[in-house]
Amino acid sequence: MFRNYFKIAMRGFGRQKLFTFINVVGLSIGISAAVVIYLIVHFDFTFDKFHKDGDRIYRIVTNYTYSGNAGFNSGVCGPMGGAVKNQVTGIEVVAPFFTLGQPDVFIPGNTAVPVRFKNQENIILADGNYFKIFEYKWLAGSAQHALDAPNQVVITSDQAKKYFPTLSYDQMIGKIVTYDTLKTTVTGIVQTIKENTDFNFHDFISYSTNQTNKTIADQLQLTKWGATNSESQLFVKLSPKTKTAHIEKQINGIFNKNYKERAGVSHSYHLQPLSDMHFNENYYNFFDDRIASKTTLYGLLTIASFLLLLGCINFVNLTTAQATQRAKEIGIRKTMGSSRKQLILQFLSETFFITLAAVIISIALTPLILKLFADFIAPGINANLLGQPNLILFLVILTVMVSLLSGFYPAILLSGYKPIMVLKNQSVPNSSKSHNAYLRKSLTITQFIIAQFFIMATILVSKQIYYVMHKDMGFKKDAILIISAPWKNLTIKKNRLLIDYIRSIPQVSLAGLGGPPPSEDGNNSTESTYMDGKKEVKIELDEKYGDENYINVYHIKLLAGRNLRASDSTSGFLINETYARLINPQYPLEAVGKQIEKFNGDKTMQVIGVVGDFNQMSLHESITPLAILKGNQTYNYARIHIALKPEIAGGNEWKTAIASMGTYWKQIYPDDDFDYRFFDDSIAKFYASEQHTATLLAWATGLSIFISCLGLLGLAIYTTNQRTKEIGVRKVLGASVAQIVTLLSTEVVSLILIAFLVITPIAWWAMNKWMQSFADRTTISWWIFVLSGAGMIITAVFVSSFQTVKAAIANPVKSLRSE
Amino acid sequence: MLSLQHISKFYQVGGTRNFVINDISLEVEAGEFISIMGPSGSGKSTLLNIIGMLDEPSSGYHYFVGETVHQLKDKQRSALYKKYIGFVFQAYHLIDELTVYENIETPLIYQDFKSTERKAMVADMLDRFQIVGKKDLFPAQLSGGQQQLVGIARALIAGPKLLLADEPTGNLNSKQGEEIMQLFKKLNKEDGVTIIQVTHSEKNAEYGSRIINLLDGRIESSKQL
Ligand SMILES: Nc1ncnc2c1ncn2[C@@H]1O[C@H](COP(=O)(O)OP(=O)(O)OP(=O)(O)O)[C@@H](O)[C@H]1O
Ligand SMILES: [Mg+2]
């Protein structure tokens, strides 16, 4: 029976080549999107899902408020690990660990000079408890004792092969690995985790090393309750059936017993579930690991469902539109003894074949799409069917679901025809007023709603991105180069040598030393007090460190007072206008010369100048009080800010200048790679996620318009065929081609207008919501909506005109005679 | 084999009932060959469709091979239909997408015959109607008479006890019509198939064993030949 259906289906497809093509293309697009998005979503949602008892594993994190601002830290203070282990009940295992900042790794080889691996990440200090919470497969050594003593190290198999390419795992035991200056002995090799995980550590140095190594002990700060460091992390595995609130209460109790909060600051400790770690943007993981955004993932899912829905709608529309053509076959089959069930099965299997074809096309397309979107897609994602049984299962479910969604209604409708109607040569009710035609119109409206929503969203997001990229942030951002000195080997003296050389390069117009540039992700805040007569004004502010050239490199405007000078002490500083207004709301420029007390806790400072406001962070954030000051720490001058002279069009002077800086850098910092960035590139990166959104939306828009227009074209062909006779009669009666085209296009236009009325308020609401994440935003102009509505109408009329014009210019005598 | 008692069928047009079949009672014995005649619009097709259970009467009692048809559910009715009845149409009503072979095979598929059985039965039928050479052609590639032959072959393939034919020769020339009538007669005599046909032709009607004349939904006359 199935073979029979297949045969008939194939012949039908052959006869209705265009409709079949539209259906397959529409569904292929939807299904391809669904497959790619499934891969992305599945990838992120399976992170660290494989750990045994994962639902009992938590990270203890620190939340704090600082003068009313919320802060989050993925670490805990140094003593917390020991205290939790000894005092908290309800916990099975406590595993503190410490992530080491990029040491160089040395492996003594046969030659005199050891093999060196520079700036290695994913190296931590941990004890045996880490391996009790997270189970690894041990290839050499044992979980019980591998990290008992100081200066021991456990290495994952992949990393071990890099260190000791010629040795077997057993032979590696006892070998020496040196981290910067810390010498350790290999006591275990564990299998590298192959599942999706954020735990990519590959070197585990024994935590107890702090007992013998003062540098390590200093970093761990094991006795300081007041210092929270995100490198010091604490994982626990709760006993079965323990409530997190019970644990949190105990931990906060311990903290409050040991530490007296400063005024305006409060800490609280929370248990972050393992499953939350991959998604919670408040907390860093370990080494700047990618945090996935659930909002983005859900957004992607929505896009996929919409595109699928559009494909299904095409199918339903085209199939029901053709119902009359199939009515005869249905009638005959029923008189041949077919039951309704059998007919439904037959139609569903036809849908199934179409869907299957679309699925096969999608499988072929997926690797290409993954390549096309490589920028957004995590590198671990691939479309390899063999390695991913879950993907096969998904495809099966998708095929069945899409077949049902597209095929069910047409199957019910078609199989319901009474044979008698057909046999009596009565036409099957399919006029414009029938139930079925209403359904078709509603579905078409739905398509236009989806397409217009995407158009509106794309226009708005692009408008906002254009706005933030072109908005004057209060400083110059192009032709500025920032060089970051290597923090490990940095000295002010070396930086001065470097900047002196840079100033001698003819392409450089100005260069200065300082900390972060005017605008950067992340800030450095502190507190100050201003005595307004007797009244104490507490002001929280941002700090930027720079020398006398800093504001000139960035063209930051000096509104009053004077700039910093090379001869100034560190107690004079510049403030921005927002700060100045807090000191003197009416005449902010009179803040010059005022004393600021308790700056950074205890210093007394003097305002020597007021600069114009500029955005210290992306336009997501608003402008806050800010000080520009000279620092006395090496890291206050870690960066060199360089203003370049304009380049002659097509020239490569900058390239030459940068190459020359790089050469000199090698003399000063021979061990480190030359690290430079253009400031405007970093600014653009603020909006990387919005740029991604815009690109995705543009694709979604293009595809949804494309699918809808395909369907529209199909419907246009069908209706014009249906109305051939009417068109002929009208033409004989004197209607012009334009009148006929107008007549045939009115319906499409009115459907789009209905869709427009439905979607505009919804789109407006959604846009408003999205814009809330920007402190500084463009307006949601009326023309966004008009443009999308008009664009949709023009596109749709244009697409259907291929058919309507053809029908309108056809010779009426012909169409009437053939009736 | 078949009994209709006080069968009526009306359509509600505006406020009035428009009777198409008006209180018809009819007994048909197994082995009969009945021709129904009457002017256009007199209700012949409607009556035939009611007998074939494709259409439902508005009132009356309907018995077929011992079953009380008017009390049966749709499913049971179509099972009964599948088992006993074959239909031949004036407009042939072949499935355009299927070849001659496949058209004839279709009823067997719905009656769950095995593939090997189907092959044998269809081959037999093609042979019998001498259309073996045409088996891979599509309906559009056949003449009207050939199409009707296929239609009859299809109606007979599952071995029905009752063959219903609505103007089977209506679209054919008189020579083709005569061949079909000879075929019917042979089926009736040799295979014992009960046949009810609607026809406008006196000559064709006389192949039957009884002629029923309809007028305005009533049996005007009935004559045994
Ligand atoms: N759906 C309907 N609604 C109203 N009247 C109907 C409907 N179907 C059939 N009729 C009427 O029923 C009557 C009988 O129709 P039927 O098809 O049985 O006639 P017929 O005797 O087969 O005619 P012909 O010889 O032309 O085939 C006709 O007068 C027709 O108008
Ligand atoms: Mg008739």
Average pLDDT over residues A548-558: 90
Question: Contacts of residue A339 in chain B, CB cutoff 8 Å?
Answer: 75, 78, 110
Question: Contacts of residue A338 in chain B, CB cutoff 8 Å?
Answer: 110
| Per-residue confidence (pLDDT) for residue B20, from 0 to 100 | 92
10 Å Cβ neighbour count for A598? 17
Residue A546 DSSP symbol: B
| Per-residue confidence (pLDDT) for residue A582, from 0 to 100 | 85
How would DSSP label each residue in B46-94? HHHHHHTTSS--SEEEEEETTEEGGG--HHHHHHHHHHHEEEEETT---
Whole-angstrom distance, CA of residue B167 vs CA of residue B204: 10
Q: Is B16 in the pocket of ligand 1 (CB under 6 A)?
A: no
Which of B164 and A735 is assigned the larger pLDDT? B164
Contact (CB<8Å) A424/B75: no
A6-37 pLDDT tens trace: 887 888 788 788 888 888 888 888 888 888 88
* Nearest CA-CA distance, residue A338 and chain B, Å: 6
Q: Is A604 helix (H, G, I), strand (E, B) or coil?
A: strand
A264 pLDDT band, cuts 50/70/90, is low
Would the pLDDT of A64 be above 90? no
Q: Mutate which of B8, B13, B16, B20 to test ligand 1's pocket (most atoms within 8 Å of Cβ)?
A: B20
Phi first, then psi, for residue A643 (nearest 5°) are -95, 125
Contact (CB<8Å) A339/B87: no
Whole-angstrom distance, CA of residue A99 vs CA of residue A199: 11
Would the pLDDT of A418 be above 90? no
A640 pLDDT band, cuts 50/70/90, is very high
| Per-residue confidence (pLDDT) for residue A428, from 0 to 100 | 47
A268-306 pLDDT tens trace: 888 889 888 888 877 777 876 777 778 878 888 888 888
| Per-residue confidence (pLDDT) for residue B133, from 0 to 100 | 92
Q: Give the nearest partner residue to A423 out of B93, B98, B102, using CB atoms.
A: B93
10 Å Cβ neighbour count for B52? 22
Average pLDDT over residues A192-204: 87
Please give the radius of gyration of chain B, using alpha carbons only, rounded to the nearest integer.
18
**Strand ranges, E, within A630-694:** 639-644, 676-678
**Strand ranges, E, within A374-446:** none
Q: What percent of chain A has pLDDT over 90?
A: 6
Q: Where are the alpha helices (DSSP H) in chain B?
A: 44-51, 74-84, 100-110, 115-128, 144-156, 174-186, 202-205
Would the pLDDT of A456 be above 80? yes
A435 pLDDT band, cuts 50/70/90, is low
Provide the token pair at A551.
């504001």
Q: Are A191 and A136 in contact (CB under 8 A)?
A: yes
Ligand 1 atom with minimal separation from the B38 CA: 21
Q: What percent of chain A has pLDDT over 70?
A: 95
| Per-residue confidence (pLDDT) for residue A741, from 0 to 100 | 83
* Nearest CA-CA distance, residue B90 and chain A, Å: 10
Nearest-CA residue for atom 6 of ligand 1: B11
Contact (CB<8Å) A336/B94: no
Would the pLDDT of A426 be above 70? no
Would the pLDDT of A799 be above 50? yes
Amino acid letter, residue A147:
L
Average pLDDT over residues B113-137: 91
